[in-house]
Structure 1
Amino acid sequence: MIAIHDASTIGEVFFQAAQRYADNSLMAVPVNPARNYHPQGYEISYADAAAQVRQLMRDYQQAGYGLGHRVGLLLESRPEHMLHKLALNALGVCCVPVNPDYRTGEFAYLIDHARLDLLLVLASHVDATEAALGESRHRPQVVVWEQWGQGLPAAARPAQSGQVGPDTPASILYTSGTTGRPKGCVLSHHYEVAAGHAYATRGGLASIREGAERLYNPLPLFHVNASILSFYCMLLTGGCQVQTDRFQPSRWWQEVRQTRATIVHYLGVVIQLLQLQPPTAEDRDHCVRFGFGAGVEPQLHAAFEERFGFPLLELWGMTEMVRAMVDCHAPRQVGSRAFGRAVEGVQARAVDDLDQEVPDGTPGELVIRHSEETPRKDFFSEYLDDAAATESAWCGGWFHTGDMVVRDDSGMFHFVDRRKNIIRRSGENIAAAEVEAMLLTHPWVEQAAVMAVADEVREEEVLACIVLKAGVPDSGDPSALAQAIFQHCHQAMAYYKAPGWIWFTPQIPTTGTQKIQKHAIFARGADPRQAPGMLDLRALKKRG
């Protein structure tokens, strides 16, 4: 395993790994004739990856890109995304992945907020890029990936002087917040390397064998899970990241078997959909040693392990700190929403609204830190240009996660619920405030309250409670009104953010200061989906 230290940088550890594991495979892509890239599959060794990274570094450097620049990558989940990231990071450039599902306004916000110097995009996203640039104030250079050999435009501003260091920003990942606008989470070189090292050394059932693992990850490269947590674990240990384009239950096992995967990453929805597939004689015909993920439904946990023959190791992590706690040591607490205990470098406790630690068995907010002496070590650097939000999250020297948990008398933490006003749908974090703001731009909407409701497949779904303005045409068909409002959101936001359920109501309860009381909209313990007049629009939520 590649040794790291507090001064390690991504370029340093990558080239060390390339020398040590030269003939091993660094990345692989499964065969998929229907995919528009690498349809026959793809595999690249550490040595060949290093050669490509060095060439990319020369290309960027000759065009003047270096320390302090920011480059947006809209390359979906192609392995080339990671090669460009490694090259850029080695030069001190910060990478800003772009979610390909972003609508024009969301993309324009990222361009402006991150103040990109360059955008590298696939030809299939050129029109979306031009539309976003038409709405943005900032104007970065744009390069189409398929035209890479035709030369790079010169950097519009000089690179900073100095050397790449452990605190140099390596990535800015956008994560939803309760203010309605995504926050840019700045991750340093040290953060990313430390995240991979923590995964590689968790031990127990999550032990990583040097040079022997092939990790299948169906999650996108614009998320922290695939581009940082799993990738750097494999890089430091000579393993191979198998990166598919997206999760599809019909081809999951085919790809896992074909790529000889020994580890798989998952979300709760992945496990649910795999469990729904008809049993076959090949259910245990694989090389998987363990699954690593979060959100498996308690009633499915043991049944899945029994059927497919490997443990699902439930973890807790977030973009701000992905050195995950994980339930990987015996005895595990399968089916209890347990996700691990505090470990060296991740101190944790559950607190009340006054930041006082609550007794074991009592729900409280999960707060974490590295240690009393160095609370922020190995965490994210900051929320970009939002010092107030950064300091608020670090109230009292502990990072406040917004997740409600219970610690049992063995020190095991169990997930309860999310305190933040965030909806978690198929692995995507959706800020209710962002959806509310969009709904209020519709000329028919007087008031809106957005909340999460349970979903048997996607964990949670978006529910919008809407008060219509006086004078809205009454067609006698509330579903037509709902569909029009839905389309208003769907055309302006990433598809997964649009309301899956809409409920029209004459009023929404508020406080004396007109603050919406979401908890009072539906009776306590009731399932909002069963409310009279509830409209199901989930079938309309489609990409494109």
Structure 2
Amino acid sequence: MMTTVYEAFCTTVAKYPDNAFLCVPAYDKRSYHPDGVEITYAEAAEEVARLRSTYRSSGFSHGNRVAYLLENRPDYLLHLLAANSLGVSCVPLNPDYLHDEMLYLLDHSDVDLVVTIEERAKDVQAAASERERPLPVVMFERFSGHLPRPRPAPNPGSTPGLMSEVSLLYTSGTTGRPKGCILTNDYFLTAGRTYMELGGVATIREGEERVYNPLPLFHMNAGAVSFVCMILSGGCLVIPDRFHPTTWWQEVVETRATIIHYLGIVPPLLLNQPKSNLDTAHYVRFGLGAGVEPELHEVFEKRFGFPLVEVWGMTETGRILADSMEPRQIHTRAFGRPTDELQARVVDDKDRDVPAGTEGELLVNCAGDDPRRGFFAGYLKNEAATEEVWKGGWFHTGDTVRQDESGMLYFVDRKKNIIRRSGENIAAAEVEAVLQAHDDVAKVAVISVKDELREEEVMACIVLMEGIAASSEKAEDIFNYSNGSLAYFKTPGYILFLDDLPTTGTQKIQKAKIFGPDVDPREQPGTVDFRKRKKKSK
């Protein structure tokens, strides 16, 4: 039995040395590999061995952690494999994080080193130097020889195993600050295996698949699920820098992708592109993702000639559920049935099972003696939050769903105070904390509003301090303030000044009562639209 991702990789190297492992599409506007590159398993093994030697000779061992800001370069995965061979954990950094966000993550994660691209070195060094224990920073472009020695590892010299930490991924939570999800070898191997076992129209063929995944490597979808699935099946992971609708089909065709991954934003943007012979000149067998609008599902499949398989998963769960068996429920928000391994319940606010067809919170766990097997190992430094989501032996997802008599699950909404924008989970409390620090803000409530393109957008409802007049100029001032402290996708897309906010007897803001059930907050008089100002830094 394989107990580490590195062992699984070595097994596949021996079996399929000449198979493509990692591929980057050609794209002349990208700063790295503009002509594209393809790396075989054998070539990857050589580079992993070099990196492993560098880490080991520099004193890195079982229990150390290294942070990486490498954007979506395939090299991150090679570093992960090298680190995993020694029991070193990888902490990927979202390249859109600003100073305060980066400082928090570097401090909270207890990393011993940061590896970054030169282009971002100044930003990373500024955050690393402010940490309680200043952190050494190494340039990715000059990664060789000896690295700054880390602190003594918690498990020096011991052999990594199934429950050793592979990665620490940060996910937004309702408390404001992101929580660090501890992800083990068991998690990674389980995530990859269960993808391989979906079956139906999502059947994985050993040694043949090429998965085009435009999602970031600091998310579990690309960085764990599809990555390990390709390792276990001897396939190739195709890694663009991000989603580009105008070059999507060209890249998919040129990289000979057989599977594509998507978010809800992808299908409408592709359908809006001019029709082309590339629409059906590809080799794609199926797409895997979440959030396609039911009214676009069949339209997309007919135009582009392959099924879209809707799935459900979370960073904490690793495993995914999928509506992959025919007849698929493509005119609904179905995402599959529980499996023999991944059990599910739909419950009310007191964790009591609700009847079929009734909306409730989705709870999941693993069948057998250990309900947490294959899930995340816990939130770093937050045992209370870990136990809270696992109360009663079931993981509380925070998602509202319903289940029909056949067991099929249908997504309804998110119960948690989380805003889902273009695949990014945004904690409303984190945005509120930044806005509340503005001198002119007395009260603030950050809510999600519908966005036809990005699923949801951030809206800030603000009560100004006494004597401060509401105006478009003040909204501009507050937007700029938040834009200097938050990643671009977290800043408010809309700002609306209100005279007051509804509260409970204990002065807790009642967000559900700010607007009536049939009111579109975006259309309220005085709402200022900042969506065009939310841009990714170059």
What TM bracket, shorter-length normalisation? over 0.9
Aligned residues of 2:316 and 2:375 also touching (Cα < 8 A): yes
- Aligned residue in 1 for 2:117: 122
Aligned residues of 2:128 and 2:137 also touching (Cα < 8 A): no
- Aligned residue in 2 for 1:497: 490
SS of residue matched to 2:78: helix
- Aligned residue in 2 for 1:51: 46
Matched residues in 2 for 1:263 and 1:290: separation? 5
- Aligned residue in 2 for 1:253: 249
- Aligned residue in 1 for 2:425: 429
Aligned ranges for residues 436-515 of structure 1 at < 5 Å?
436-472=432-468, 474=469, 478-515=471-508
Deviation at 1:151, TM superposition (A): 3.3
Aligned residues of 2:57 and 2:146 also touching (Cα < 8 A): no
SS of residue matched to 1:95: strand
TM-score between both structures, scaled by the size of structure 1? 0.97
- Aligned residue in 1 for 2:22: 27
Partner deviation per Cα, 1:313-345 (whole Å, 9 max, x = no partner) = 000000001210000001110020000000121
**Is 1:405–2:398 an aligned residue pair?**
no
- Aligned residue in 2 for 1:60: 55
Deviation at 1:169, TM superposition (A): 0.5
| Equivalent position amino acid for 1:466 in 2 | I
Deviation at 1:130, TM superposition (A): 1.8
Partner deviation per Cα, 1:488-512 (whole Å, 9 max, x = no partner) = 1111111000000111000000011
| Equivalent position amino acid for 1:107 in 2 | M
Q: Which consecutive residues of structure 1, in runs of 5 or more, have no partner in the other structure?
A: none
Structure 1 segments (4+ residues) deviating >6 Å: none
Deviation at 1:358, TM superposition (A): 0.5
Matched residues in 2 for 1:437 and 1:155: separation? 34
Matched residues in 1 for 2:417 and 2:13: separation? 43
SS of residue matched to 1:382: coil
- Aligned residue in 1 for 2:288: 292
Aligned ranges for residues 139-538 of structure 1 at < 5 Å?
139-149=134-144, 151-158=146-153, 160-161=155-156, 162-472=158-468, 474=469, 478-538=471-531
Aligned residues of 2:344 and 2:365 also touching (Cα < 8 A): yes
Aligned residues of 1:59 and 1:152 also touching (Cα < 8 A): yes
Aligned residues of 2:250 and 2:278 also touching (Cα < 8 A): no
Matched residues in 2 for 1:536 and 1:121: separation? 35
Matched residues in 2 for 1:524 and 1:328: separation? 35
| Equivalent position amino acid for 1:109 in 2 | Y
- Aligned residue in 1 for 2:536: 543
Partner deviation per Cα, 1:376-406 (whole Å, 9 max, x = no partner) = 0110000001000000000111000000000
SS of residue matched to 1:322: coil
SS of residue matched to 2:143: helix
**Is 1:9–2:4 an aligned residue pair?**
yes
Aligned residues of 1:169 and 1:189 also touching (Cα < 8 A): yes
| Equivalent position amino acid for 2:151 in 1 | A
Matched residues in 2 for 1:397 and 1:365: separation? 15
**Is 1:135–2:163 an aligned residue pair?**
no
Deviation at 1:528, TM superposition (A): 1.0
| Equivalent position amino acid for 1:493 in 2 | L
| Equivalent position amino acid for 2:76 in 1 | H
Matched residue count = 536
Aligned residues of 1:350 and 1:363 also touching (Cα < 8 A): yes
Percent identity between matched residues is 52
Deviation at 1:372, TM superposition (A): 5.0
Partner deviation per Cα, 1:188-212 (whole Å, 9 max, x = no partner) = 0111011101101111100011111
SS of residue matched to 1:525: coil
Distance 1:158 1:402, change over 3 A: closer
Matched residues in 2 for 1:520 and 1:156: separation? 51
Deviation at 1:122, TM superposition (A): 0.5
| Equivalent position amino acid for 2:471 in 1 | P
Matched residues in 2 for 1:322 and 1:170: separation? 13
| Equivalent position amino acid for 1:266 in 2 | Y
Deviation at 1:137, TM superposition (A): 1.6
Matched residues in 2 for 1:449 and 1:158: separation? 43
| Equivalent position amino acid for 2:147 in 1 | L
- Aligned residue in 1 for 2:96: 101
Partner deviation per Cα, 1:27-83 (whole Å, 9 max, x = no partner) = 000011221111111111101111111111111000000101000011111010000
SS of residue matched to 1:321: coil
SS of residue matched to 1:404: strand
CA RMSD of aligned residues (A): 1.1
Deviation at 1:134, TM superposition (A): 3.9
